[in-house]
Amino acid sequence: MSVVTGGEDKEHRNGEENMAAWLLGIKTLKIQPYHLPALGPHDVKVQIKALGICGSDVHHFKTMRCANFIVKKPMVIGHECAGIIEEVGSHVKSLAVGDRVALEPGISCRRCDLCKNGRYNLCREMKFFGSPPTNGSLANKVVHPAYLCFKLPDNVSLEEGAMCEPLSVGIHACRRANISPETSVLIMGAGPIGLVTLLAARAFGAPRVIIADVDDIRLSIAKNLGADEIIQVSTNIQDVGEEVVKIQNAMGSGIDVSFDCVGFDKTMSTALNATSSGGKVCLIGLAKSEMTAPLIPAAAREVDVIGIFRYRNTWPLCIEFLKSGKIDVKPLITHRFGFSQQEVEDAFETSARGGTAIKVMFNL
């Protein structure tokens, strides 16, 4: 099956097929032709060289939906990517053929009030790689606006460039929470987003970071990445009170900011109860569309709840942190796969199983 998404590019007219990983149904991925739109004057064509699997990709793979985003027709999957510029539009001056770039995957309208006020991540017309109905970037090549492609320094690899996307979530959260050298931090969840939030908090100067999770393997990874204390918690909401005391004792002082990188009733309840009066709780994990949490007691202590949705204006800072060595994302990449039908299937199954898999990376 061949799915046409726009005007055919010259490669296709010359008989060269651009291939992509299409999500056709629950746990059904197939590498098939992907016909790119014609290159616009402000666009670039990028050969994708590195792409990481995100938790949202896994949700789409397993259930054909992620939160309120539902896959209703075949869709190219993937959005955490980097590659090499193959062609530039006639008006592009900032990039050249051969440049290595990290791609920010969301194209906002740039016209609405949210976009004009700088909060483009909240644009209602956002077209985001691999978020239905927009095709993603697990493909040989994609066409993308030049302004969303960021040149990588020589000492930053293409894999690290692809990691700018998940790292951006942690960077945006730390900005929203005003993390500084005076901020003690609790992180609920030691999955990929919890771990990049740990790295970001450290880069922003947080002097003490505690991370809690149900999985001892992921907690050991968090410890190796620099968490001051790790706390293993249960899935039983009846344990919240006891675990809050354990977390507060481990911090040894007040918890200024908590990041819930999971989004369950229990993780949010723990974060709200553990955070000091006057502190902040950032909800990053969007596991459920609704939750039950003790907001009234938290409000009575003026604990602010801050929503986090993706990111905005983060790629330059991510690249600077990677270039300077202030953040090292390489230990997060635990599994690597090529771009064949079997490897695409194996990679998604590996990521879906979890366990020791943190970031599963494709090398194209």
Confidence (pLDDT) at 24: 96
19-151+329-363 and 167-307 agree in CATH topology: no
Locate 241 and state its tokens.
């009170």
Residue pLDDT, tens place only, 32-43? 999 999 999 999
- Residue with token string 């929503």: 307
Confidence (pLDDT) at 135: 97
Confidence (pLDDT) at 11: 46
Percent of the chain with pLDDT over 70: 96
Confidence (pLDDT) at 288: 79
pTM of the model: 0.93
Burial (0-12, 13-18, 19+ Cβ within 10 Å), 352: middle
Domain boundaries, the chain: 19-151+329-363, 167-307
Residue pLDDT, tens place only, 233-249? 999 999 999 999 999 99
Confidence (pLDDT) at 16: 75
Q: Which CATH number fits domain 167-307: 2.60.40.10, 3.30.450.40, 3.30.70.270, 3.40.50.720?
A: 3.40.50.720
Confidence (pLDDT) at 257: 98
Confidence (pLDDT) at 9: 45
pLDDT of residue 275 exceeding 90, the answer is yes
Residue pLDDT, tens place only, 319-364? 999 999 999 999 999 999 999 999 999 999 999 998 889 999 999 9
Confidence (pLDDT) at 25: 95
Confidence (pLDDT) at 220: 95
Residue pLDDT, tens place only, 144-166? 999 999 999 999 999 999 999 99
Residue 74 CA to residue 77 CA, distance in Å, equals 9
pLDDT-derived band at 6 (thresholds 50, 70, 90) equals: very low
Confidence (pLDDT) at 7: 42
Mean pLDDT on 112-130:
97
pLDDT-derived band at 290 (thresholds 50, 70, 90) equals: confident
pLDDT of residue 96 exceeding 90, the answer is yes
pLDDT of residue 4 exceeding 50, the answer is no
Instruction: Annotate 235-303 with DSSP letters as a single string.
Output: S-GGGHHHHHHHHHHHH-S---EEEESS--HHHHHHHHHHSPTT-EEEE-----S-----HHHHHHTT-
Q: For domain 19-151+329-363, give the CATH number.
A: 3.90.180.10
- Assign 116 to helix, strand or coil: helix
pLDDT-derived band at 66 (thresholds 50, 70, 90) equals: confident
Confidence (pLDDT) at 15: 47
Confidence (pLDDT) at 8: 43
pLDDT-derived band at 69 (thresholds 50, 70, 90) equals: confident
